[in-house]
Structure 1
Amino acid sequence: MYIGYLYLAIAIVSEVIGSNMVISTEGFTRLKPTIICVLCFGLAIYMLSLTVHYIPLYIAYAIWGGLGIILVTVVGVVFWKQSVDIPTLIGIFLIVAGVVVVNLFGKAH
């Protein structure tokens, strides 16, 4: 089971890197960032496919989505100097709350 969470962590980190590389691709016109972006998204999907052998898809996807949006937001604020307003933070909090509810109270556990 723990290996599933390792696979999931790799999937999340890969997706966050890939998502942030989209900015650097400049519409997929820059080769190096485009290659990194595509490889990261490919790795993310592959690792998610391994994850679901150990963790139910709805749990894995909820964690992936919840942590992914938090990490993409943090990277956007820190590295890309993007601003985040209160409604966005509330929405992110609600997503995280949903992930917590699914993981604590879902019948798959």
Structure 2
Amino acid sequence: MKGYIALGISIISEIFGTTMLKLSDGFTNLFPSIGVIFGFVIAFYCLSLCLKTIPLSLAYAIWSGIGTAATALIGVLLWQDPFGVITLVGLVLIIGGVIFLSASDQAENAAEPSS
């Protein structure tokens, strides 16, 4: 459970850092630039913590998938990035891939005898 908490913090921090990256305007705005550094340092630190208990393939799929989907939605909502059927299908495929990887990992863990 601690691994998933660390993964959640990592995802939130990565989304924060990426949002600050947009606001930094090429690192020309000081406070958003500091936010980028802060967000990504926390994101990678927490990602490394979660890897103590969560397999790399699953953790990275969840981290990048949710981060990508949330960042795309933030772009649409805050900066009027284009959003159409292709974008929606892409987001559904990303989220579906994360679900399949998670289900695959859970099925493999259930099949292994506990020691």
TM-score normalized by the length of structure 1: 0.92
On the 8 A contact 1:5/1:51 being kept in 2, the answer is yes
Per-residue deviation at 1:83?
Answer: 2.2
Flag structure 2 segments of 5+ consecutive residues without an equivalent: 111-115
Moved more, 79-88 or 23-32: 79-88
Q: Work out the CA distance in 1 between the residues paired with 2:104 and 2:59.
A: 14
> What's the counterpart of residue 14 of structure 2?
15
> What's the counterpart of residue 95 of structure 2?
96
Write the letter of the residue equivalent to 1:16.
Answer: I
> What's the counterpart of residue 29 of structure 1?
28
Q: Work out the CA distance in 1 between the residues paired with 2:31 and 2:9.
A: 21
> What's the counterpart of residue 3 of structure 1?
2
On the 8 A contact 1:7/1:50 being kept in 2, the answer is yes
Query: In the alignment, does 2:44 pair up with 1:53?
Result: no
Structure 1 segments (4+ residues) deviating >3 Å: none
Aligned residues with identical type, % of pairs: 38
Q: Work out the CA distance in 2 between the residues paired with 1:19 and 1:103.
A: 25
Q: RMSD value over aligned CA atoms?
A: 1.2
Q: In the comparison of the two structures, how many residue pairs are matched? A: 108
Q: Can you list the C-alpha shifts for 1:39-63, whole angstroms capped at 9, x where unaligned?
A: 1011100000000001111111111
Q: Work out the CA distance in 1 between the residues paired with 2:31 and 2:109.
A: 41
Query: In the alignment, does 2:77 pair up with 1:78?
Result: yes
Per-residue deviation at 1:108?
Answer: 4.6
Q: If you compute each CA radius of gyration, which structure gives the higher value, 1 or 2?
A: 2
> What's the counterpart of residue 105 of structure 1?
104
